[in-house]
Structure 1
């Protein structure tokens, strides 16, 4: 490896660390080229190539006349997003079921009092969002609750898989929510949350399975 290639690789690694650590959150603008030159201790050409490498990877995006912004904090999310961009709605539901059934089982076994309070709070927020009828708020509230259940499972591999599918899951939830709003159907997670709170892993699995199966078996899904 040449000295220059090594410099670029190190610069890429440093930039990636700032993104992954949250120093530069998703949606934020990264420092200007002169600032990056000083931060990384390399020349402008090296900075440009390092930034371009992360643009190609999908972590950064250049906006003409505005600057460079953080698009994602995970290359795996980008890769998986590209792979499933045109995924069938039902296929995503089936993957959700495989992840969320196990998440519910583990959450029921591993939840703490703090987890129970948090899940109940998120469920209340979800109910309020449904009552308000705003699609974006409903999707955000529903996704927050499901992600919290995945986090409560305390399995870092499962949570990583779930978070790297979060865009597809969010789009999946949106499709489901639009159908519910249009048909004025009721949809609650009270039994799911309470089964986790009670530590009943079998009931938690049954609740999330029944919930997702209703969508999977729906011929309009």
Structure 2
């Protein structure tokens, strides 16, 4: 198979779908800081874990792309993402609230400067899995420079969270609490066994990250 195909496919998918995820409302980070009371109890505590429906560290969102955070909240509100706590929170937010929170957390990660280093080369097995999934086509250089801000930075994200997320894309109808209905990621994840998904998650999760957990002063 032509190795350029995953990259070309990823680019076509990205530009074809970016408009659907584009952040249309301008976010105000200062306003987001006044709205994040529902967020800090999970995303601003180092090592905090979800206990339902599986145990895993909640994702780092400080330093994440604002457009992606906004798109994720919209998906929770619409039910494309099923995690009940996040669905409940998103349902209480307006589009402006989501944009404000997205702007706040995107800026929050810049409080601590992170030096960029080249990503550690994967072993042969993981390298073949990454090529098969065409992961770099969307998530970009070092998996930290997505080709569109509506896609997430994933380098250094908690490996257990990445694994659970990939399984959710692979099995969108697995249950009422864990599936994710995204046809692009669903099609990619469906190519792999769960063991292969774990290998991908472990590699990407071990990379240097621009994502962080920035504790609130009350938690420090």
- Normalising to structure 1: TM-score of the pair? 0.23
Point out the structure with the larger helix share: 1
Q: Larger RCO: Structure 1 or Structure 2 (Cα < 8 Å, ≥ 6 residues apart)?
A: 2
